[in-house]
Amino acid sequence: MNSDCTIIQNATAILPDRLLPDARIVLRAGRIAEIGRTGKRVPMGATIVNAQGGFVSPGFVDIHVHGGGGADFMDGTASAVRTACCAHTRHGTTTIFPTTTTGSPDEIHAMIAACREVRDDSKLVVGARIAGVHLYGPFFAPDKVGCHSSAGRRDPTSAEYSGYFATGLVRIATCAAELPGALGFYRMARRQRCLVTCGHSNATWTEMDRAFRAGMRHVDHFWCAMSSVPSVRARLGTPMQGSMEQYVLMNDGMTTEVIADGQHLSPELLTFAYKLIGPKRLLLVTDASRAVDLPPAHYMFGNCETGTTFAHDGRVGRAPDGGLASSSMGMDHMVRTMRAATAAPLWEVIRMASLTPAERAGISHEVGSLAVGKRADVLVLSRRLIVKKVFIGGVSQSA
């Protein structure tokens, strides 16, 4: 008998650089044991999964996500963390980086502690696996706070952020490059081997270049809450200066991300990003709120008691002033939207949702692609890229 063996067949496997039709993927002892062609003898006792002519994909990796299923990670409880992780697993995310927003130091520490509790729970067999926390808020520029609570925004100080890094759970770290103390933040984040990012910022090219030398390598949600030539001119006057957009496009050492929910960015902007930045430097993220899988209504962004209200219309969240307030969709929706908007090869679209974020987060040796020896975080998708089955460490989840 071979009860710890699952075989997925009658599928097209999505590899990092091509499609492999008529594929058979063997999952054993929590790992991908074999990738080959259908037709080999089936081991006795193996569980057979018929993909019915669909696709087998690596599980998605989301490095920028605030909540889902009615919970926000900033609620600061293990129950909220489990709820959000399970919600995103239904949409194909198998590795997740819970993301902070603006809030008090106590709220941020509570969020990190709740994520640690869930990550370390050996009894937990469902829900996306937490690979670390994305320290996103509170270090935003005052004029780029967006839907986040402005009351919880502040400039970085080592006395505060060193405490977050000391938890050992922060793996992605964001700060607006123009803030006093930003360079010290970047240097400490680099020493912690974090993916160091700039977001919610009105930074100039010069400020971005200083940040790059200090270790910053990524820009959050391209075109959203970021500087442009006109916004920098409004801040500093003439002569006009380069912004975050130009810096990312010109610097091959930089990566960025898009929210491909069909509401934040138009098809031509998604195509522009794909064509000019490419699938090895461009990531898909959800930036999702607690409204994922919930009906249209008003909800809280951030902590359920101290956050800000937003309206979910069934497609996207909107702040009271009409501005966008995070997405309301899972990663499978982002994949389908990106595929339809760009006509990119499917393996490159999947790469942007799996291997590229895994590489940037430093976990691609374990997850992010279908490869023998990697963790068996695997999806079965229909021909229309609908999630049919989810495996995390070889264990079947509810999709």
Tell whether 129 and 219 lie within a shared domain. Answer: yes
Tell whether 269 and 329 lie within a shared domain. Answer: yes
Q: Specify if 367 maps to a domain.
A: no
What pLDDT, on the 0 to 100 scale, is given for residue 337? 98
Question: ω before 105 within 30° of 0 (cis)?
Answer: no
Q: Specify if 89 maps to a domain.
A: yes
- In order along its 399 residues, the chain shows pLDDT tens digits of 345 899 999 999 999 999 999 999 999 999 999 999 887 777 788 999 999 999 999 999 999 999 999 999 999 999 999 999 999 999 999 999 999 999 999 999 999 999 999 999 977 678 999 999 999 999 999 999 999 999 999 999 999 999 999 999 999 999 999 999 999 999 999 999 999 999 999 999 999 999 999 999 999 999 999 999 999 999 999 999 999 999 999 999 999 999 999 999 999 999 999 999 999 999 999 999 999 999 999 999 999 999 999 999 999 999 998 899 999 999 999 999 999 999 999 999 999 999 999 999 999 999 999 999 999 999 999 999 999 999 999 999 964
Q: Specify if 172 maps to a domain.
A: yes
Q: Total structural domains in the chain? A: 2
Tell whether 103 and 135 lie within a shared domain. Answer: yes
Tell whether 211 and 262 lie within a shared domain. Answer: yes
Tell whether 216 and 275 lie within a shared domain. Answer: yes
Residue 20's CATH number: 2.30.40.10
Q: Specify if 19 maps to a domain.
A: yes
Q: Specify if 368 maps to a domain.
A: no
Phi, psi values for residue 324, rounded to 5°: -65, 145
Q: Per-residue b/e over 15-40, b at no fewer than 16 CB within 10 Å? A: bbeeebeebbbbbbeebbbebeeeee
What pLDDT, on the 0 to 100 scale, is given for residue 4? 87
Q: Per-residue b/e over 321-341, b at no fewer than 16 CB within 10 Å? A: eeebbbbbbbbbbbbbbbbeb
* pTM of this prediction exceeds 0.95: yes
Residue 312's CATH number: 3.20.20.140
What pLDDT, on the 0 to 100 scale, is given for residue 347? 98
Of the candidates 344, 339, 299, which has an alpha carbon nearest to the alpha carbon of residue 317? 299
Instruction: Round to whole Å and give the CA distance between 207 and 221.
Output: 18
Its domain, for residue 392, covers: 5-57+374-397
What pLDDT, on the 0 to 100 scale, is given for residue 3? 59
Tell whether 69 and 52 lie within a shared domain. Answer: no
Q: What is the 3-state secondary structure (H, E, C) of 173-239?
A: EECCCCCCCHHHHHHHHHHCCCEEEECCCCCEHHHHHHHHHHCCCEECCCCCCCCCHHHHHHHHCCC
Of the candidates 83, 131, 138, 81, which has an alpha carbon nearest to the alpha carbon of residue 108? 138
Instruction: Round to whole Å and give the CA distance between 351 and 68.
Output: 23
What pLDDT, on the 0 to 100 scale, is given for residue 2? 47
What pLDDT, on the 0 to 100 scale, is given for residue 243? 98
Taking 3-state DSSP, the helix, strand and coil percentages for the chain, each rounded to the nearest 5, stand at 30, 25, 45
